[in-house]
Amino acid sequence: MAAILQIKPITDVPADRRASANPRDPEFFQNPYAFYDRLHATDPAFFWDEYGHWCFAGFKDVSALLRDKRFGRDILHVATREEIGLPAPQPHTAAFDLTEKYSLLNLEPPAHTRLRMLVNRAFVSRHVEQLRPRIRTLANEIIDGFEGEGSVDLIKAFAAPIPAIVIAEMIGLPAEMAPQLLNWSNRMVQMYMFGVTREVELDANQASADFMDYLRTVIAERRRQPREDLLTHMLTAEPGGDRLSDDEVMSTAILLLNAGHEATVHTTGNGVKSILESGIDPATLFASEEQTQATAEECLRFDAPLHMFTRYALTDLEYEGIRLRKGDVIGLMLGAANRDPKRFADANRFDPFRTDGANVSFGAGIHFCIGAPLARIELQVAFAELFRRLPRLRIAEPPRYGDVYHFHGLEKLVVEWR
């Protein structure tokens, strides 16, 4: 998920519309909801000093702006770098930039439409529903591997392997590659930290280069010996009469592999934490298919895996009295929108039985998460099987969130069940 930076400094913001919170401050990223509460009580449309751009924390605004075609993930299709002051690409991040160049997440129509139509078929609900038995079997095999230990880091042992293996198998990569895929992905995600260092950039770039080298080898093999998998489909399909280039296939595969597990890992960990801390009997949360779905949706709302998604203003415009210039960045605060008291009753309470449980955790508009149907099934199965197999599950150590504010997830979740 590409980091978008405000290029032109914005200085003409009244003091009463500004807010300050350091995304790298442990007090903040361990509990950003205290900051969100202050925003909702004062002004959920505010200028975040540390980021240097306008942000929106209200559910209504976030939902509307995700769909507003005056904003986009790309800007260079309507402006030159010189026009908006965008610096030239940096040589030391060339490999990372190449993985992002054709990413669905960063493209706008018509390029986005072409690629999304190609991949969308594999992720529609009726197709991924067929994966439910495989996901259930996988979840139980993984639990079998640690059940006898009595205690485990649930992120590493359970939350991470399931979505990594599932998306790898969908694309056509061997399940045993999942740990290496996770390693590359975790290093690349560090690029989205606030105040990223050159050391992190170099490491993320090396992970990107290694990831692409691996995929080039697999792509060459698949051209020689096609299979019934998504990678072969991307290599042989002809959307609009032309085929995808190897670079387009690599960008798409890397996006699907990274996004296909990153958010699900975080939601699984955050969700188990929320359930255990709520004091609600887990047996009531998974007593039926409908309640299992509602519990997963509340986990997505209550402690979202992605807290900020950025957009460029594609033209000079005004939104709710805020004047924006072409090339300005806005931050859409998904985690804050999901806790908006104007939208949700008792918004800061984990309530899997609520009837107002919509959320924006998967985004909206043309960039709505393509893997949402798959992620929902993975969450439903993982939660249900975990608490069925380990009904005495409890938190053994205070959980701590990782220092990557955009991606809000636990570093570790040590649990026990004896």
Q: What does each of the 418 residues of the chain score in pLDDT, given as a tens digit?
A: 345 555 566 767 888 899 999 999 999 999 999 999 999 999 999 999 999 999 999 999 999 999 999 999 999 889 988 888 888 889 999 999 999 888 888 888 888 888 888 888 778 777 889 999 999 999 999 999 999 999 999 999 999 999 999 999 998 999 899 899 989 988 998 887 788 889 999 999 999 999 999 999 999 999 999 998 889 988 887 766 677 888 888 888 888 888 777 889 999 999 999 999 999 999 999 999 999 999 999 999 999 999 999 999 999 999 999 999 999 999 999 999 999 999 999 999 999 999 987 899 999 999 998 889 999 999 999 999 999 999 999 999 999 999 888 889 999 999 999 8
Q: How many residues does the chain have?
A: 418
Residue 3 domain-assigned (yes or no): no
Instruction: Report residue 139 as tokens.
Output: 């979840």
Residue 7 domain-assigned (yes or no): no
Q: What is the CATH number of the domain that holds 353?
A: 1.10.630.10
Residue 9 domain-assigned (yes or no): no
Residue 4 domain-assigned (yes or no): no
Q: Give Cβ neighbours of residue 148 (< 8 Å, ≥ 6 apart).
A: none
- Burial (CB < 10 A; 0-12, 13-18, 19+), residue 332, is buried
Counted domains in the chain = 1
Domain that holds residue 224: 15-416
> Is beta strand 329-332 parallel, antiparallel or unpaired with respect to 53-56?
parallel
Residue 264 domain-assigned (yes or no): yes
Residue 96 domain-assigned (yes or no): yes
Residue 1 domain-assigned (yes or no): no
> Is beta strand 329-332 parallel, antiparallel or unpaired with respect to 18-19?
unpaired
| Residue given tokens 């560090």 in the structure block | 190
Q: Give Cβ neighbours of residue 224 (< 8 Å, ≥ 6 apart).
A: none
Q: Give Cβ neighbours of residue 397 (< 8 Å, ≥ 6 apart).
A: 412, 414
Name the pTM for this structure.
0.92
Residue 6 domain-assigned (yes or no): no
